[in-house]
């Protein structure tokens, strides 16, 4: 049952919202804290594709991959980057040393709930090898929790919070009145109204689109002009083993010769699985990998995306990427596509027969097809050129049977105009994490939760 009023209402139970709650609870300056989560409790989250009940996404609502306690990170690979070099834009709004301090603090909290202490260190020999081919490897100390261990850590964090704050799952915040601070919540078909003295949006990518609409409705400025579009590449794991065994995750930038565009290789999953992701009903691809040996596959996969930055008057990069991804959904009969690189380069579709002949076996049942029918030429040219550049440091990357699952997009939420994470002209309403356009990783979203926690704790004094 909801109270009429709370000192703090947190919207979203992802890593950002959870770390915020942890910080508030540990300082004990607020008594009534409500955390409202649209998705299911962590232990009830189960994707029917992952459990093998269905072959393709049946668009569950809520989506058990993106929504629910633990947020989008609950079933992630649990790669935790101890760096501010990538993973978000917090250093745009704060001193990067401060951000790093919070990343370390979040890491310590996660370790206290069982996360591994083992880290992969940067490797200058591999960086030099890349530089010889105009490939630019970003370096960071990386932790790999693994999907299974990451899930356990999240479970312990949520269990710690239970009883200390009120957590309401399967509860969707449909509106917030910025003047009266009323929060409108739909739960089991009923609508509840609660008041929050302070309200924090920690809504992640799954809530970004509605948050943007809320900002527009309330004349709150938000800004975004970037989107990344590309494919999930799947190759035999031995192809990138000389990198993954040393640094776990190669993150490599390349500027294409043809267009001068930036492409990024990232989100590497060693001996992992390609998975689908549902964003507002549009299916895209992603990847993850388990730590347990018996759950590992023969393939590694990574995202290879081409960055597009738009200029005025165009302001809808997310809608643009969704339109591209929805073409792949349309062509595949409501799923995602897979094509062999050799077929793509030879201008022919991968069909069932050709896929059956592939030496690389897909870990996701994507529909064999033709990516050139849905992906814009520019992005596709960039991806093919980059695969050949990567092939120089990891021969085998641009093989005929290299599998390209598409479309993969990274939608970056519009950055809402804030001062110290308090939304401009919305006193006592804050925004953090991926959904507010500040972060795009577990580490920075976790740090952002702690930062806002410190701001709120100071205000309570």
Ligand X SMILES: Cc1cc2nc3c(=O)[nH]c(=O)nc-3n(C[C@H](O)[C@H](O)[C@H](O)COP(=O)(O)OP(=O)(O)OC[C@H]3O[C@@H](n4cnc5c(N)ncnc54)[C@H](O)[C@@H]3O)c2cc1C
Residue 45 contacts ligand X per CB under 6 A:
no
Q: What is the CA radius of gyration of the chain?
A: 22
Residue 40 contacts ligand X per CB under 6 A:
no
Among 8, 21, 34, 67, binds ligand X (CB under 6 A): 67
Comparison of 23 and 76: residue with beta carbon closer to ligand X = 76
Residue 196 contacts ligand X per CB under 6 A:
no
- Binding residues with ligand X: total (CB under 6 A): 43
Is beta strand 222-223 parallel, antiparallel or unpaired with respect to 415-416? Answer: antiparallel
Q: How far is the CB of 161 from ligand X (least distance, A)?
A: 14
**Backbone angles phi and psi of 293, in degrees to 5:** -55, -40
Closest CA to 203 of 391, 438, 458: 438
Q: How far is the CB of 133 from ligand X (least distance, A)?
A: 26
The burial of 66, by beta-carbon neighbours within 10 Å (0-12 exposed, 13-18 middle, 19 or more buried), is given as buried
Residue 418 contacts ligand X per CB under 6 A:
no
x-marked contacts with ligand X along 77-116 as a string, rule CB under 6 A: xxx-------x-----------------------------
Among 228, 261, 277, 370, binds ligand X (CB under 6 A): 277
Close Cβ partners of 399 (under 8 Å, ≥ 6 residues apart): 235, 341, 342, 360
Sole window of 41-49, 64-72, 301-309, 377-385 interacting with ligand X (rule: CB under 6 A): 64-72
Comparison of 268 and 380: residue with beta carbon closer to ligand X = 268
Residue 202 contacts ligand X per CB under 6 A:
yes
Sole window of 12-20, 292-300, 377-385, 390-398 interacting with ligand X (rule: CB under 6 A): 12-20
What part of residues 163-192 is at the interface with ligand X (CB under 6 A)? 172-173
Residue 408 contacts ligand X per CB under 6 A:
no
Residue 439 has what DSSP assignment? Answer: B
Residue 154 contacts ligand X per CB under 6 A:
no
d(CA 398, CA 383): 11
Is beta strand 33-36 parallel, antiparallel or unpaired with respect to 166-168? Answer: parallel
d(CA 372, CA 385): 14
Per-residue burial over 226-242, b if 16 or more Cβ lie within 10 Å, else e, is: ebbbbbbbbbbbebbee
Compute the half-sphere exposure of residue 185: CA atoms within 13 Å on the CB side of its CA. Answer: 29
Report which secondary-structure segment, H or E, holds 447.
helix 442-460
Q: How far is the CB of 346 from ligand X (least distance, A)?
A: 31
Sole window of 113-121, 196-204, 239-247, 452-460 interacting with ligand X (rule: CB under 6 A): 196-204
In DSSP terms, 264 is beta-bridged to 253, 305
Q: What token pair was written down for 284? A: 């895209």
**Backbone angles phi and psi of 92, in degrees to 5:** -70, -25
Sole window of 89-97, 99-107, 360-368, 427-435 interacting with ligand X (rule: CB under 6 A): 427-435
Sole window of 8-16, 219-227, 301-309, 420-428 interacting with ligand X (rule: CB under 6 A): 8-16
Comparison of 34 and 398: residue with beta carbon closer to ligand X = 34
d(CA 149, CA 118): 13
Q: How far is the CB of 381 from ligand X (least distance, A)?
A: 27
Among 12, 236, 317, 437, binds ligand X (CB under 6 A): 12
Q: How far is the CB of 435 from ligand X (least distance, A)?
A: 6
Helix-then-strand count for the chain, H and E: 12, 23
Residue 72 contacts ligand X per CB under 6 A:
yes
Among 445, 447, 451, 452, binds ligand X (CB under 6 A): 445
Sole window of 27-35, 375-383, 431-439, 452-460 interacting with ligand X (rule: CB under 6 A): 431-439
Residue 228 contacts ligand X per CB under 6 A:
no
Per-residue burial over 119-158, b if 16 or more Cβ lie within 10 Å, else e, is: ebeebeebbebbeeeebebbbbebbbbbbebbbebbbebb
d(CA 55, CA 433): 32
Comparison of 73 and 230: residue with beta carbon closer to ligand X = 73
Q: How far is the CB of 439 from ligand X (least distance, A)?
A: 6
Binding site for ligand X (CB under 6 A): 11-17, 36-39, 66-68, 71-73, 76-79, 87, 172-173, 202-207, 210, 277, 286, 288, 433-435, 439-443, 445
């Amino acid at each position: 049952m909801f109270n009429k009023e709370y000192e703090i209402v947190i919207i979203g139970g992802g890593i950002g919202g959870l770390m915020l709650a942890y910080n508030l609870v540990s300082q004990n300056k607020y008594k009534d804290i409500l955390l409202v989560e649209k998705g299911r409790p962590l232990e009830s989250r189960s994707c029917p594709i992952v459990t093998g009940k269905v072959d393709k996404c049946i668009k569950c609502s809520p989506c058990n991959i993106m929504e629910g306690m633990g947020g989008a990170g609950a079933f992630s690979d649990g790669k935790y980057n101890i760096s501010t070099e990538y993973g978000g834009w917090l250093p745009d709004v704060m001193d990067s040393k401060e951000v790093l301090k919070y990343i370390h603090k979040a890491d310590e909290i996660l370790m206290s709930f069982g996360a591994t202490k083992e880290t992969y260190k940067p490797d200058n020999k591999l960086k030099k090898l890349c530089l010889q081919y105009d490939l630019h490897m970003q370096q960071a100390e990386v932790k790999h929790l693994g999907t299974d261990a990451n899930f356990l850590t999240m479970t312990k964090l949520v269990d710690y919070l239970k009883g200390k704050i009120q957590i309401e799952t399967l509860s969707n915040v449909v509106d917030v009145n910025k003047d009266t601070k009323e929060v409108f919540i739909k739960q089991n078909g009923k609508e509840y109204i609660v008041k929050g003295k302070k309200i924090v949006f920690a809504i992640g990518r799954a809530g970004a689109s509605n948050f943007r609409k809320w900002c527009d409705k309330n004349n709150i400025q938000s800004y975004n002009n970037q989107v990344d579009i590309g494919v999930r590449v799947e190759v035999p794991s031995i192809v990138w083993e000389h990198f993954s065994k040393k640094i776990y995750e190669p993150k490599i930038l390349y500027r294409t010769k043809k267009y001068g565009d930036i492409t990024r290789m990232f989100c590497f999953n060693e001996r992992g699985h390609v998975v689908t992701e549902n964003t507002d009903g549009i299916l895209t691809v992603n990847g993850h990998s388990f730590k347990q040996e018996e759950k590992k596959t023969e393939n590694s996969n990574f995202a290879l995306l081409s960055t597009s930055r738009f200029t005025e008057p165009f302001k809808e990069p997310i809608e643009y990427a969704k339109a591209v991804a929805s073409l792949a959904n349309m062509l595949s009969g409501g799923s995602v596509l897979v094509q062999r690189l050799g077929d793509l380069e030879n201008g022919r579709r991968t069909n069932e027969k050709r896929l059956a002949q592939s030496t690389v076996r897909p870990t996701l049942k994507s529909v064999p097809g033709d990516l050139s029918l849905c992906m814009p030429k520019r992005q596709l040219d960039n991806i093919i050129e980059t695969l050949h550049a990567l092939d120089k440091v990891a021969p085998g990357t641009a093989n005929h049977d290299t599998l390209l699952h598409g479309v993969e997009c990274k939608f970056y939420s519009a950055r809402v105009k804030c001062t110290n994470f308090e939304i401009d002209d919305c006193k006592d309403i804050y925004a953090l994490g991926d959904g507010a356009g500040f972060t795009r990783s577990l580490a920075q979203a976790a740090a952002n939760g702690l930062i806002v926690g410190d701001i709120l704790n100071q205000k309570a004094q």
